[in-house]
Amino acid sequence: MNGCQDRGMNRFSSYDATQIAFHEVGEGRPLVCLPGGPGRSTEYFGDLGGLSESRRLVLLDTRGTGASADAADPDSYRCDRLLADVEALHAHLAFEPIDVLGHSAGANLAVLYAAAHPERIDHLVLLTPSLLALGITVTDDQERSALQRRSGESWYASAMAAAERAQAGDDSAQTRNEYMPFLYGRWDQAAQDHVKLGMSERARAVQTRFYADGVFDPPATAATLTRLDAPVLVYGGELDVIPSAVLHQAARVFPHAEVTVQPAAGHYPWLDGPARFTAALNAFLSPAGMAAAS
C-alpha cells in the first residue's frame, strides 16, 4: 500500500443492529469510499493508486459483503435502503461535512446520499459512475462503440463474444471473467489479479436487490440535487464503456460540477494511471480545487 498507514478494520452497529465494517487506510482528512459491483467488497480499491498518502480512505463494506454482516431483511440491500448505513457511518465518524466517493454502482448510492443530505457533503466524486439514480444510461450504440474501440487488442474476439453472451442473459462467472478486459486500460498481470479482488458469490443477495423495482426516482433526485452547494467531480476513463457524453450529461444535473476523463484509462483509472489519478483527485479535493469548482 505504498507505505501508507493501514488503520485496519472497524465495525459499527447500523439502524437495524446489522454490524457494518469499514477499513481505514492512510492519513489526513477522511474520504468515504462506496464500492461498486454492486456487491463487491472494498478490497478492490486498494489504496486508490496512492491516494491514501494524502487522504484517510474510509472504505465501507456494503452489508452482505466483505467483513460486514448479512442482513436479516434482504430488502435492506436495496440501494435506497443502503442510505441508512451511510448515515450510520457518518454518525459513527462524527465528522461533518464529509467527502464522498462513489465508484461504478456505488455512485448511485453516493448520489442518493447527496440528495438526501446535501448539507453533509463537502466534496462528491462520481468515479466511472453508474448513473441510474439520475435516469442516465449508456445506450446500446454507445456501448457497442466503446467496445469496438478495443478491436485491435489480442483478447478482443473472445471478450466480445463473452459480452454478447452477457447481454443475452448469461450471468455466469466464466462469462463475466471473459469480458473483464474491456474494463481495464491494459490487460496486464496487475489487471488480471485485480479482477478477483472483492468478488464473492455471497454477494448474490446484494446484487439481486440493489436495483430492485422502485429503488430510484430520478426526477425527484435531480430536483433535490439543485440544492447541492458542494463541488462535484464526474471522473471517467477514456477507454471505459461509459462515454464522456454520459459523464457530461450527469454533470449538468449539479450546480457545481466538472468532468475529467483520464487518457488511456478504463473502469479503474487508479490502476491504469495512478499518478495522474491521484493528482487529479488531490487537486479537486483541496480547498483551492473546491473554490475553482464553485
6-135+199-293 placed in CATH 3.40.50.40: no
Per DSSP, the residues of the chain read: -TT--EEEEEEEE-TTS-EEEEEEESSSSEEEEE--TTT--GGGGTTGGGGGGTSEEEEEPPTTSTTSPPPSSGGGGSHHHHHHHHHHHHHHHT-SSEEEEEETTHHHHHHHHHHH-GGGEEEEEEES---GGGT----HHHHHHHHHTTTTSTTHHHHHHHHHHHHTT---HHHHHHHGGGG-SS-SHHHHHHTTTT--GGGHHHHHHHT-TT---HHHHHHHGGG--S-EEEEEETTSSS-HHHHHHHHTTSSSEEEEEETT--S-HHHH-HHHHHHHHHHHHSHHHHHHH-
Could you tell me which of 80, 42, 88, 69 has the C-alpha nearest to residue 209? 80
Write down the pTM of the prediction. Answer: 0.94
First to last CA, the chain: 33
Residue type, 134: L
pLDDT at 290: 41
Dihedral Cα 70, 74, 76, 78, nearest 10 deg: 120
Q: Which three cell numbers stand for residue 135?
A: 435516469
**94 has a pLDDT exceeding 90:** no
Q: Which three cell numbers stand for residue 43?
A: 478490497
Could you tell me which of 255, 293, 277 has the C-alpha nearest to residue 128? 277
Q: How far apart are CA 254 and CA 231, in angstroms?
A: 8
pLDDT at 2: 43
Q: Where is average pLDDT lowest: 51-65, 143-157, 170-184, 220-234?
A: 170-184
125-160 pLDDT, tens digit per residue, is: 999 999 999 999 999 999 999 999 999 999 999 999
151-194 pLDDT, tens digit per residue, is: 999 999 999 999 999 988 888 888 988 999 999 999 999 999 99
